[in-house]
Amino acid sequence: MKTIIIAYASMSGNTEKMADYIAEGIREEGYEVELKSSLRTSVKDLLKYEGILLGAYSWGGVPDEFIGLYNELAEVDLNGKKAAAFGSGDSKYRNHFGIAVNLINEKLQERGAEVILEGLKMNLAPEGNDIERCKDFGRQFVKKLNQEKQAEKSL
Ligand SMILES: Cc1cc2nc3c(=O)[nH]c(=O)nc-3n(C[C@H](O)[C@H](O)[C@H](O)COP(=O)(O)O)c2cc1C
């Protein structure tokens, strides 16, 4: 089984930058990661991976570029998968800041995935400290994935 996939939607490049930095963090931990546009990803692709990272910017809710994949999630059982969500938003949307991240997380849980990290939301493009936060999200995802695997083995 392949290890980690990042499937993301990004219209103006902010979420894509997050995805690239997260991938850097994952690779630093010695893991391979496949980066794919959500438009070119089907749920069947996701099932080939142990760890699933889904990223989307917010557009009132889940953006059009991500909605196909989001709707397809309703058809699969993600039990045993480890997952997390991330995405860029704009803090001026206040209560709806990064709303797509919340919706994706809810969907992942509803389908039985174990969400092993709190969703990562960023205001517009990752800059300064945010870059490190993205890389760390990738590193932490690998660490948690390993911890969960160890815990399952010892059961
Ligand atoms: C019509 C419209 C609706 C938006 N809705 C939201 C929203 O509900 N919540 C939010 O946090 N950001 C919202 N945004 C801001 C985008 O999510 C933000 O610009 C983001 O950085 C875009 O990411 P991307 O570069 O990956 O496409 C909206 C932007 C537009 C133009």
pLDDT, mean of residues 61-67: 98
Helix (H, G, I), strand (E, B) or coil at 120: strand
pLDDT digits (tens, 9 = 90+) for 7-61: 999 999 999 999 999 999 999 999 999 999 999 999 999 999 999 999 999 999 9
Could you tell me if the CB of 99 is within 6 A of ligand 1? yes
Could you tell me if the CB of 66 is within 6 A of ligand 1? no
Cα separation, 131 vs 75, in Å, equals: 34
The runs of H, that is alpha helices, within the chain are: 14-28, 43-46, 64-72, 99-110, 129-153
Could you tell me if the CB of 102 is within 6 A of ligand 1? no
Please indicate, yes or no, whether the overall pTM of this predicted structure exceeds 0.75: yes
Instruction: Assign 1 a pLDDT band (cuts: 50, 70, 90).
Output: low
Parse the chain into domains and list their residue ranges: 2-153
The runs of H, that is alpha helices, within 10-128 are: 14-28, 43-46, 64-72, 99-110
Residue 150's pLDDT is what?
Answer: 87
One-letter amino acid for residue 49 of the chain: Y
Q: Check pLDDT > 80 for residue 2.
A: no
End-to-end distance of the chain based on CA atoms, in angstroms?
21
The CATH-assigned architecture of domain 2-153 is 3-Layer(aba) Sandwich (3.40)
Angle (CA) 78 109 102, round 5°: 130
Cα separation, 67 vs 84, in Å, equals: 17
Tokens read off for 90: 């704009």
One-letter amino acid for residue 97 of the chain: F
pLDDT digits (tens, 9 = 90+) for 69-127: 999 999 999 999 999 999 999 999 999 999 999 999 999 999 999 999 999 999 999 99
What is the number of the ligand 1 atom nearest to the C-alpha of 99?
9
pLDDT digits (tens, 9 = 90+) for 129-148: 999 999 999 999 999 999 98
Could you tell me if the CB of 10 is within 6 A of ligand 1? yes
